[in-house]
Chains A and B, each alone.
Chain A
Amino acid sequence: MPLILTEEQTMLKDAADGFLRENAPIAHFRKLRDTKDADGVSRDLWKAFGEMGFAGVIIPEEHGGSGLGAVEAGIVAEGLGRTLTPSPFFGSSILAARILIDAASADQQSAWLPKIAAGEAILSLALDEGPKHQPSRIATTAERSGNGFKLNGAKGFVLDGHIADALIVAARTDAGVTLFLVDPKTSGVEIERTVMVDAHNAARITLTDVHVDADAVIGDVNAGEAALEGALNLGRACAAACLTGAGDQAFLTTVEYLKTRKQFGKLIGEFQALQHRAAHLFTELELAKAAVLGALQRLDAGAPKADLAVSIAKAKAGRVAELAVQEAVQMHGGVGMTEGYDVGLYMKRVRVLNELLGDAGFHAEKLARASGY
């Protein structure tokens, strides 16, 4: 398959980028942040995401979604990176939706997928526990109790966890990991909203003797790792797409600055020291875009080792976006450090996206192990 977008995908990209530019530009993000909005996201925008078909991009049509694939999900994620729009898209449309599609019962699917697709429900995946993403070291436990399970543990970096209508909790059971659909209002669930450095939202969630019924299990008991795999792959690839969007937008903003700012009587873009750094960054961004599209296409094709293509994309996009935002601030000089300029906002967002679902080091380690070294 050619490593470019199809005509339909290009149309979707134009629609998504256009919609975000118009309805959720950076001013939208600043307003939510500065008014200390209780939700931290706009419910109206989430609803509009539903109407546009973005919230249900990967959800099958019979559940009210668009029935599209990873490439299309990545297109929306990249757009969100460009505009820094806070949205339940990652937690609900990507991670939760993928888990429900891959592993949930018919009842669970019909309870939640149509609502996600319509931009009505917000779901969060409670997976990480320590400061780094280490999905193989889940310590939260689920013990059999009565007709169900009793959950104990602590989760962090739960995207939109403070406004979730349902949580998907990964917990250790007798012979593996199991995923549970948990109502956040259940007794024993404590949720602390954690506003992050990028002013996007996450939560710490403490589970103390939280009782859930047996029908809260998603898929089979002890089969949670397999049920998570698709969601982690898609989430990582979309995080990579979002990183590329954020990095590229910071870069484009910087190129404009190089063409307008004058010092020593010249445009600063005339100085070779800056030209070469800009050209290097352009090259790196092209590589990151290729790696991301390659990973998304491989996920759609169900290609062998697609997970490694995803790790390559997440690691590469993470490193490149990190370079892009640092160069953006440095090339802007003093104003790059100010709250009024946007480039600093990209730096914060990229830091968060880098930690999300494994940073470049995590994915380089994964690749090395899989390659036998």
Chain B
Amino acid sequence: MADLESFRAETRAWLEANCPAECRGPLDNDEDRVWGGRNATFKTPAHKRWMDVMAARGWTAPQWPTEYGGGGLDREKAKVLASEMRRIDAQMPLSSFGVWMLGPALLQFGTEEQKKRFLPEIVRGEIRWCQGYSEPGAGSDLAAVQTRAEDRGDHWIINGQKIWTSYADKADWIFCLIRTDPEAPKHLGISFVLFDMATPGVTTRPIELISGKSAFCETFFDDVRVEKENLIGTLNRGWDVAKALLAHERTMIGAVGDMGRPISQVATDSIGLDDTGRLDEPMLRTRIAELEIDAAAFRLSMERVGDQVKAKQVSPAIASMLKYYGSELNKRRHELAMAAGGSDALEWESERSHKGTPARDWLRTKANSIEGGTSEVQLNIIAKHLLQLPGA
């Protein structure tokens, strides 16, 4: 405990000294996030500095081992760091699919050489990763992927198409599910491979969404050469890696249910209070209070799941549970934000609305319960573990 308290004091002092003023407070919109990568953009030079100083301590991936550039913190210390960052409203120094998704899978399935090669550059925000999972014919039925690899001895030639690849047009490398044995049952012929998006034959095409933004892409592979050393885990057993990674992805998507300003503040700013001090829209107020109760319970549930994982008491359905609830919660949150904003929140182009941020964010959340496996797929997974029916 004393150790934890001194860690808290040191962390607090260090954050005070090193977190630039520009990097405190909520982001105006998602585009201001720092994603890193070869073509990284930063809202201000301070944002780059913030990423770099945090990365130097490994605190862009606080719980990864230090030998791969991580912070080497145990769970309790990582919680302290997170709470001290929240205390000063520090922005995330680096948003990264490498940190959230690929890294944990590499730590579990990668060779020593692969970990040494890929993890430190993720921590430093030097390489931006994207995820090549879904295909036009493999959405909820992800194991039906058909992008195929031809064996050419020391390398493969890859052909096929991915879809809904988040930020593929901005990413440097991709982690990808490829069919390496077309004869095997569908779950047993898939491999998990990594390659550079600059390899000849890789093209991307952004997909315009209802939010007017294009976070997702179609990604095409035409005779793309990939060295076999970039296989993660065992050949044809990529589904095991994919599932482990999906668990991390789902937990991450679930966590979006807990971001941003409290909806009650958004509503009071917009609508105001009546003369008894209550939000001047009684029916909306009730819905907001119920949401805030669910959100608080969800926050505790995420914390508890983390503690259960550490104590090895966790149910395998838990990532699906967090994904399902968190994404549905976030959709509810944004429905209420729109109701709270009224006609102000409908403006699509004005500077006043930061170019329609409330409306665009609201529309973006509709994908939360689709990406990373639909809510219905999560419920299937939870039910399977829950009921343990013979033959299921």
Q: Hey, which bits of chain A sit against chain B, CB under 8 A?
A: 2-4, 255, 258-259, 267, 269-270, 272, 275-276, 278-280, 282-283, 286-291, 293-294, 309, 312-313, 315-316, 360, 363-365, 367-369, 371-373
Contact of A259 with B389 at beta-carbon distance under 8 Å, contacts A272-B380, A371-B262, A371-B292 already known: yes
Main secondary structure of the interface of B (DSSP, over half): helix
Separation in Å of the A226 CB from the closest CB of chain B? Answer: 23
Q: Are B297 and A279 in contact, CB atoms less than 8 angstroms apart?
A: no
**With a CB–CB cut-off of 8 A, which chain A residues contact B379?**
275-276, 279-280
Separation in Å of the B201 CB from the closest CB of chain A? Answer: 41
Q: How far is the CA of A290 from the CA of B308 in the complex (A)?
A: 11
* 28 chain-A/chain-B pairs, Cβ below 8 angstroms: A2-B307, A3-B300, A4-B308, A272-B383, A275-B387, A276-B380, A276-B383, A279-B380, A282-B321, A282-B386, A283-B321, A286-B304, A286-B318, A290-B300, A290-B304, A291-B296, A291-B301, A293-B300, A293-B304, A294-B300, A312-B293, A368-B278, A368-B288, A368-B289, A368-B292, A372-B264, A372-B268, A373-B273
Other than the given A367-B292, A368-B288, A373-B273, 18 more pairs (CB < 8 A) read A3-B307, A4-B307, A258-B387, A276-B380, A276-B383, A280-B379, A283-B382, A286-B301, A287-B294, A287-B325, A290-B297, A291-B296, A294-B300, A363-B293, A367-B289, A368-B285, A368-B292, A373-B268
Q: How far is the CA of A258 from the CA of B384 in the complex (A)?
A: 12
Count of inter-chain pairs, beta carbons less than 8 A: 126
**With a CB–CB cut-off of 8 A, which chain A residues contact B350?**
none
**With a CB–CB cut-off of 8 A, which chain A residues contact B294?**
287, 316
Separation in Å of the B377 CB from the closest CB of chain A? Answer: 11
Q: Are B293 and A316 in contact, CB atoms less than 8 angstroms apart?
A: yes
Q: How far is the CA of A280 from the CA of B298 in the complex (A)?
A: 14
Interface centre among B267, B279, B290 (most CB of A within 10 A): B290
Q: Are A267 and B386 in contact, CB atoms less than 8 angstroms apart?
A: no
For residue B321, which residue of chain A has the nearest CB?
Answer: A283
Q: Hey, which bits of chain B sit against chain A, CB under 8 A?
A: 75-76, 262, 264, 267-268, 273, 277-279, 285-286, 288-290, 292-294, 296-298, 300-301, 303-304, 307-308, 310-311, 313, 317-318, 321, 324-325, 376, 378-380, 382-383, 386-389, 392
For residue B302, which residue of chain A has the nearest CB?
Answer: A290
Q: How far is the CA of A11 from the CA of B301 in the complex (A)?
A: 23
Q: Are A4 and B311 in contact, CB atoms less than 8 angstroms apart?
A: yes
For residue B279, which residue of chain A has the nearest CB?
Answer: A373
Q: How far is the CA of A367 from the CA of B263 in the complex (A)?
A: 13
Q: How far is the CA of A283 from the CA of B310 in the complex (A)?
A: 20
Q: How far is the CA of A280 from the CA of B369 in the complex (A)?
A: 14
Q: Are A373 and B325 in contact, CB atoms less than 8 angstroms apart?
A: no
For residue B264, which residue of chain A has the nearest CB?
Answer: A373
Separation in Å of the B326 CB from the closest CB of chain A? Answer: 10
**With a CB–CB cut-off of 8 A, which chain B residues contact A2?**
75-76, 307, 310-311
For residue A281, which residue of chain B has the nearest CB?
Answer: B386
Q: Are A371 and B264 in contact, CB atoms less than 8 angstroms apart?
A: yes
Q: How far is the CA of A360 from the CA of B311 in the complex (A)?
A: 32
Q: Are A373 and B278 in contact, CB atoms less than 8 angstroms apart?
A: yes
**With a CB–CB cut-off of 8 A, which chain A residues contact B76?**
2
Q: Are A283 and B324 in contact, CB atoms less than 8 angstroms apart?
A: yes
**With a CB–CB cut-off of 8 A, which chain B residues contact A290?**
297, 300-301, 303-304
Q: How far is the CA of A259 from the CA of B384 in the complex (A)?
A: 12
Q: Are A287 and B298 in contact, CB atoms less than 8 angstroms apart?
A: yes
Interface centre among A4, A365, A367 (most CB of B within 10 A): A4
**With a CB–CB cut-off of 8 A, which chain A residues contact B267?**
373
**With a CB–CB cut-off of 8 A, which chain B residues contact A275?**
379-380, 383, 387
Q: Are A3 and B293 in contact, CB atoms less than 8 angstroms apart?
A: no
Q: How far is the CA of A282 from the CA of B267 in the complex (A)?
A: 31
For residue B301, which residue of chain A has the nearest CB?
Answer: A290
Q: How far is the CA of A249 from the CA of B268 in the complex (A)?
A: 40
Q: Are B386 and A255 in contact, CB atoms less than 8 angstroms apart?
A: yes
For residue A367, which residue of chain B has the nearest CB?
Answer: B289
**With a CB–CB cut-off of 8 A, which chain A residues contact B75?**
2
For residue B307, which residue of chain A has the nearest CB?
Answer: A2
For residue A272, which residue of chain B has the nearest CB?
Answer: B380
Interface centre among A259, A276, A286, A291 (most CB of B within 10 A): A286
Q: Are B277 and A369 in contact, CB atoms less than 8 angstroms apart?
A: yes
For residue A269, which residue of chain B has the nearest CB?
Answer: B387
Separation in Å of the B310 CB from the closest CB of chain A? Answer: 7
Contact of A279 with B300 at beta-carbon distance under 8 Å, contacts A259-B387, A371-B264 already known: no
Q: Are A269 and B389 in contact, CB atoms less than 8 angstroms apart?
A: yes
**With a CB–CB cut-off of 8 A, which chain B residues contact A287?**
294, 297-298, 300-301, 325
Q: How far is the CA of A88 from the CA of B274 in the complex (A)?
A: 43
Q: How far is the CA of A159 from the CA of B75 in the complex (A)?
A: 43
Separation in Å of the B290 CB from the closest CB of chain A? Answer: 6
Q: How far is the CA of A283 from the CA of B76 in the complex (A)?
A: 25
